[in-house]
Amino acid sequence: MRTVLSMVLFFAVAATAVAQQDTTTLKLGWKHKSVGALNLTQVSFANWAAGGENAFAWTGSLEGKSTDEQVVTSWENAYKFAYGQAKLQSTGLRKTDDVLDIASVLTYTMGVYVNPYVSATLKTQFGTGFDYAAPEIPAVSKFWDPAYLQQSLGVGYQPLPELKTRVGAALRETFTSEFRTYANDPGTPVSEWIKTRVEGGLESITEADWKFAPHMVFLAKLELFSPFKTMDKIIVRADAGITAKVNEYITTGLSVSFINDWRVTPRTQSKQTLALGLSYALL
């Protein structure tokens, strides 16, 4: 609960900063934004007295959004794909990043701040994941194992173009095949494990997209899901990052991610990434 409160406070501060920005006139029709990035790191040693190990790492990503703004509807489709690997001289290739995230939200705009919406989201990964801390390095996940599909219906609130939030009733499906722990409660006997879990609940999603300087953007997203059967156990996912554009082709960025899913682990999962590499705006 302390983690959830900290995240809510963080997004509240971000929302306060975003609220200082001026609104813009809505333009009808499709608007597209897509950015691809490739980050590379390579280190090589030869007769280096201080010691060291050859290393190579790469991460590729594609992130974008397509929005169709009409007089009475707004249809937003967002996607984020990323994959990365690293190799030390003493080890083989190891995965460092793997994201497949798609979201589609259709909002009926009634000319007020609060508007009804329907949405669908999909989260999974491309490749097999391993627990490199284990001696045998066993696999712990793979493509569509797990996969999370969520549909929801509710109301959205967007006081500013840079900030929006929505709350609604949701249906969440968790798909697994080999790694069924993601679909079952801790303590459930293995003989009773299921592959697919379907549960209803409440969702809350808050997003910020704030260009606070000519070449700097703050992006953040806080996702909460509370199953009806266990309302006191909230599944939390938060992503936040700052991207700075050095020039037309070079960008740098800092991002952090938090996941608190009691079915997977009682501890809060976190990931931090600092990147400098090539970036190109496709649209």
Give tens-digit pLDDT for 24-68.
455 799 999 999 999 998 999 988 888 889 999 999 999 999 999
Residue 54: inside a domain: no
Give the three-class secondary structure for 188. coil
Of 7 and 114, more confident: 114
The tokens 């409660």 sit on which residue?
A: 185
Give me the pLDDT at residue 4, please: 43
CB 130 within 8 A of CB 94: yes
Residue 59: inside a domain: no
Assigned token pair, 228: 């009806």
What does pTM read for this prediction?
0.86
Residue 33: inside a domain: no
Kindly state the average pLDDT of the residues 239-250. 92
Residue 164 has pLDDT above 90, yes or no: yes
Residue 3 has pLDDT above 60, yes or no: no
Residue 235 has pLDDT above 60, yes or no: yes
Secondary structure of 11-80 as H, E, C letters: HHHHHHHHCCCCCCCCCCEEEEEEEEEEEEEEECCCCCCCCCCCEEEEEEEEEEEEEEECCCEEEEEEEE
Residue 40: inside a domain: no
Kindly state the average pLDDT of the residues 144-155. 98
Residue 17 has pLDDT above 90, yes or no: no
Give me the pLDDT at residue 13, please: 41
Give me the pLDDT at residue 26, please: 59
Kindly state the average pLDDT of the residues 225-253. 94
Give me the pLDDT at residue 230, please: 93
Residue 6: inside a domain: yes
Going by pLDDT thresholds of 50, 70 and 90, the confidence category of residue 222 is: very high
How many domains, the chain? 1
Going by pLDDT thresholds of 50, 70 and 90, the confidence category of residue 137 is: confident
Give me the pLDDT at residue 50, please: 86
Residue 47: inside a domain: no
Give the three-class secondary structure for 162. coil
| Boundaries of domain holding 238 | 2-27+64-81+99-281
Residue 107 has pLDDT above 90, yes or no: yes
Assigned token pair, 19: 């609220």
Residue 37: inside a domain: no
The proportion of the chain whose per-residue pLDDT surpasses 90, expressed as a percent, equals: 71
Residue 142: inside a domain: yes
Average pLDDT, the chain: 89
Question: What single letter denotes the amino acid at residue 35?
Answer: V
Give me the pLDDT at residue 181, please: 94
The proportion of the chain whose per-residue pLDDT surpasses 70, expressed as a percent, equals: 90
pLDDT tens digit string along 79-105?
A: 999 999 999 988 889 999 999 999 999
CATH code at position 206: 2.40.160
Residue 140 has pLDDT above 50, yes or no: yes
Going by pLDDT thresholds of 50, 70 and 90, the confidence category of residue 111 is: confident
Residue 9 has pLDDT above 50, yes or no: no
Q: Return the beta strands (E) in 176-233 as ranges.
A: 196-213, 216-227
Residue 14 has pLDDT above 80, yes or no: no
